[in-house]
């Protein structure tokens, strides 16, 4: 080897890595950034929970709407979100407005699959669904309808992420 090749940073790093071992590198990395690990784990857990809730809501496709119902066979809008998140492992309050107040409010640009979509008039929340991507939600729309996937039909929505 030439003197130039031996002095390159990559060679020095690989030589150090082989001396300290892969396990030590991982330990060193974990010790270097401990404050990031718990939050990242919590975010991953919340995302997994939301995706499970989204799957539960989708599995209820075709279930009839019934005001005040929260499953397992009939739902109103907040009953569907309550049921879906409960099956995924997270308890939500009963009404759409209470659910909005219990979430971390996020912007439309920050929304992810499984986030809650709250429909509002002024400052009052009147409907909720679960974001399914491509500007669509799973929801229980109204009397005489069934749980379905539908395009978000208005700009009067707020987004919330279950904590």
Catalytic residue numbers, as ranges: 77, 127, 139
Give ∠ CA 103-87-74 in degrees, rounded to 5.
95
CA quadruple 114, 81, 125, 134: dihedral sign: positive
Q: What is the spatial distance between Cα 91 and Cα 64, in angstroms, rounded to a whole number?
A: 23
What backbone phi and psi angles, to 5 degrees, belong to 148? Answer: -155, 165
């Amino acid at each position: 080897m030439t003197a130039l090749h031996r002095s390159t940073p990559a060679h020095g790093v690989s030589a150090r890595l082989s001396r300290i071992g892969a396990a030590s590198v991982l330990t060193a990395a974990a010790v270097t950034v401990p404050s990031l690990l718990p939050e990242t784990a919590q975010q991953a857990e919340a995302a997994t929970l939301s995706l499970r809730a989204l799957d539960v809501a989708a599995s209820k496709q075709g279930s009839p709407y019934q005001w005040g119902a929260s499953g397992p066979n009939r739902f109103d809008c907040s009953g569907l979100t309550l049921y879906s998140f409960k099956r995924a492992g997270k308890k939500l309050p009963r009404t759409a407005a209470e659910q909005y107040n219990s979430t971390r409010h996020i912007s439309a640009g920050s929304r992810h699959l499984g986030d809650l979509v709250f429909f509002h008039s002024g400052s009052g929340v009147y409907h909720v669904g679960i974001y399914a991507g491509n500007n669509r939600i799973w929801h229980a729309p109204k009397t005489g309808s069934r749980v379905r996937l539908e395009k978000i039909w208005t700009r009067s929505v707020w987004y919330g992420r279950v904590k």
